Amino acid sequence: MGTLSNTYFEKAKTLIPGGVNSPVRAFKSVGGNPVFIQSAKGAYLKDVDGNEYVDLIGSWGPMLFGQAHPLIESAVREALADGFSFGAPSLKEVLIAEKIVSMIPSIEKVRLVNSGTEATMAAIRLARAYTKRDKIIKFEGCYHGHGDSFLIAAGSGVATLGTPDSPGVTVSTARDTLTAVYNDLDSLRNLFDSNPGAVAAVIVEPVVGNMGLVIPTEGYLAGLRALCDQHGALLIFDEVMTGFRQSASGYQGVCGVQPDLTTLGKIIGGGLPVGAYGGKAEIMDMIAPAGPVYQAGTLSGNPLATTAGLAMLNLITEDPDVYIRLAEKGNALASGIKSQLEKLGKRFTINQLGSMFTLFFTENAVNNFNDAKTADLNLFGQYFQGMLRRGIYLPPSQFESWFISDAIGDAEIAKILAASEATLEEMFS
């Protein structure tokens, strides 16, 4: 029997490349067709066919307090009365900039943009201008948006397309993009040694979410900082995902390592499209109109997005215990699924840090992209579909982190674990 989701998807494919506006949404790596979402509230998504799902993607991270939080919704409704977009300065831009600077220890000045991709692209351009060098170093499996240089050995949806590098990326771009192995300081050291005085910046997800969740080993990020200092390169933390997800000061506030530049997104928009990059004033003052490095955006600092983002950040500062609650929920899910796997005699790998989580269908420890690629994608697809049938919406890719929101309570945890147990037993019993 057909569903409205299938009907809409077939129509979408005639109008939109692949039927989706972001590749991972097409369910290619998990099989079947995507479900079309009608609405979201709290811990739940509802599709166009009336099915309800516990939400474990949270719009890919922004929904720290759950979908459509009433205080954020109220703030946006109030802002609507003043207009949708100005294309001119507004106080909201100043207020959210002030809030970000007060919360992130390394950021002295910040520029608002419209997406995480914009933020990382601008940060790389700025780093090249500041250092007067051309090459950048990124890490295999890290995804920093769809800018040309970031699609070299990228993670996220790129990894499941079967093409690690995207056609359309020029040879010269690839030549200036060096790739290291995450959690391997020697691989980074070798790149610096073989490209003396040529590296402008190292860009890294301090906690990786786009090869599935991968956690930095002890001392790794401090090692990155030391190598960048030694070789005169800037260190860029891509905290589009981890910014305000792991703590009120970003993951840099947890690990104690300060980058030169930080990129942000997701949570700072409260669910609306937004991005930002910031860092030391000396570097940021090179951005036009203060300096010569050009970057602009018609909708940057949009009053609705800044309103939602400011409301979100205020919620965080007013409720700092949210991170304790989120960690408890993450721990409960991790220990519950681990027990289920042990009962079935399976030794799959669970990486969990606070409210971020990935179950890898591999017995290997997962500390980098090569480790992640040992996961059995067919098994993940089976698990995803089994969970979806039982009312749990997971990221439709092995190479994406799950995101837990504060709206998920004991009842939802119990529902997730019950669905997981039934699905795993269906797969392996």
d(CA 28, CA 398) in angstroms, rounded, equals: 11
DSSP per position, 90-148? -HHHHHHHHHHHHHSTT-SEEEEESSHHHHHHHHHHHHHHHHT--EEEEETT----S-G
Q: Quick check: is 266 catalytic?
A: yes
Which of 285, 277, 237 lies closest to 257 in space, CA to CA?
A: 237
Per DSSP, the three-state class of 399 is coil
CB-CB neighbours of 250 under 10 Å: 26
Q: Quick check: is 143 catalytic?
A: yes
| ω into 105 cis (within 30 of 0) | no
Residues belonging to the chain: 429
d(CA 232, CA 215) in angstroms, rounded, equals: 26
Amino acid at 76: V
Write down the catalytic residue from 47, 55, 184, 238: 238
Which strand (E) or helix (H) includes residue 29? none
Write down the catalytic residue from 109, 266, 329, 373: 266
DSSP per position, 292-338? SB----TTTT-HHHHHHHHHHHHHHHH-TTHHHHHHHHHHHHHHHHH
* β-sheet with 392-393: strand ranges across: 37-41, 44-47, 52-55, 392-393
d(CA 300, CA 305) in angstroms, rounded, equals: 9
Residue 298: is it exposed, middle or buried by C-beta count within 10 angstroms (0-12/13-18/19+)? exposed
Write down the catalytic residue from 8, 143, 220, 277: 143
Provide the 8-state DSSP code for 376.
-
Residue 69 has which token pair?
Answer: 């939080």
d(CA 124, CA 42) in angstroms, rounded, equals: 36
Catalytic residues: 143, 238, 266
